[in-house]
Structure 1
Amino acid sequence: MRAITLHQPWASLIAIGAKKFETRSFPPPSKLIGQRIAIHAAVRKCCLDDLELDVESAEMISDALGKSAWNHTLPHGAVVCTAVLAGAYKVASLVEDEAGGTIALFDLNATLKGSPFSSSLDVDPFGDYSVGRWCWLLKDVQRLPEPVPAKGKQGWWEWSQNGPL
């Protein structure tokens, strides 16, 4: 299974369902759309202060993961969940809905082949949805009962629950 490494707390936010998009400056490989991928938490530890977040974002992360425990208990150097990479969309603009939430409007000319049609989606508060960035939609997230230790890599890499490939 293809895997991608993310820093904490982003990997755990995906595992608990709080972060439904991985946002990057580039699209994923189109052949991975519709495929199950592994989400790996990097070995490198950081704290909220290292993330340079605004106060509201830091509070949302603490609320989602547990006020004081997240920095000491989040797994590192392990696969924490799998998910289906359901689509990839390039942000064209952001608008606010009537309830005060944020909706990303997508450049449908830049949507990856195989992505389900969507001109807009509600975004979570845990990504960088700047115009021109890519939103990788993650669905059917399956949190592993226990994190599986694995040596991650930059970019895409191959992971097997039965050991390294």
Structure 2
Amino acid sequence: MKALTVWQPWTSLILYGWKPYEFRGWPAPVNLRGERIAIHAGARPVRVTEVTDLILRLRGPDAWTTSLRPEALEFLERVKLTPGILPLSHVLCTVELGTPVRSWEIVGEFGGVINDSDRDNHCNWAWPVSKIEPLVPPVPAKGAQGFWNWAGSK
């Protein structure tokens, strides 16, 4: 199965269904669209400044700029207080990868220009993620950049 590494807290936001799109600077490969992929939490520790930014935006009139569901706010407030609660270097779930669209094509869902991080060059393409299947417990994995092969929990 192909896997994609995503930094925390965004990995967990996907897991809980509060982040319906993964944003990248490139469209997902055609052969993976409609396929199930693994979502891996990278080894990079949670950055409290990023969590704080998401919280501030979700609390204000620009909540739509995060592309996150409002239910994410309480979770992010807990993460800000205790960032170590999120698993790192683990596959947390599998999702069905949809057909990517340009991020500005989904603006109507959120109300304007969207970007869920401070990396503007990563928000050009919105990759829908759906049909989330959590892995309980999460499975340790090293990960890699881009898509990589994951052997699964066996």
Return 5+ residue gaps in structure 2 as ranges: 60-69
Return 5+ residue gaps in structure 1 as ranges: 105-122
Q: Specify the structure having the higher radius of gyration (Cα).
A: 1
Between Structure 1 and Structure 2, which shows a larger proportion of helix residues?
2
Following superposition, which runs of at least 4 residues in structure 1 exceed 3 angstroms of deviation?
Answer: 57-62, 92-97, 125-128
Q: Matches of 1:92 and 1:35 in 2, distance apart?
A: 24
Matched, 1:72 2:84: yes
Q: CA deviation at 1:22?
A: 0.2
Give 1:127-142 correspondences, 5 Å limit: 133-142=124-133
Q: Matches of 1:44 and 1:95 in 2, distance apart?
A: 29
Q: Normalising by structure 2, what TM-score?
A: 0.75
Please provide the CA RMSD for this pair.
3.2
CA contact (8 A) 2:50 2:117 kept: no
Paired residue for 1:117? none
Q: Normalising by structure 1, what TM-score?
A: 0.70
Q: Matches of 1:158 and 1:54 in 2, distance apart?
A: 31
Change (3 A) 1:57 1:32: same
Which secondary structure does the structure 2 equivalent of 1:87 belong to? Answer: coil
| Identity %, equivalent residues | 33
Q: Structure 2: which amino acid aligns with 1:102?
A: G
Deviations 1:11-30 (A, max 9, x none): 00000000010011111111
Paired residue for 1:23? 23
Matched, 1:102 2:111: yes
Paired residue for 1:108? none
The count of aligned residue pairs is 141
Give 1:51-66 correspondences, 5 Å limit: 53=53, 55-57=55-57, 62-65=73-76
Give 1:1-165 correspondences, 5 Å limit: 1-50=1-50, 53=53, 55-57=55-57, 62-65=73-76, 67-68=78-79, 71-92=83-104, 101-102=110-111, 126=116, 133-162=124-153
Deviations 1:113-138 (A, max 9, x none): xxxxxxxxxx8x8468x797100001
Between Structure 1 and Structure 2, which shows a larger proportion of strand residues?
1
CA contact (8 A) 1:22 1:127 kept: no
Q: Matches of 2:51 and 2:76 in 1, distance apart?
A: 15
Q: Matches of 1:149 and 1:158 in 2, distance apart?
A: 14
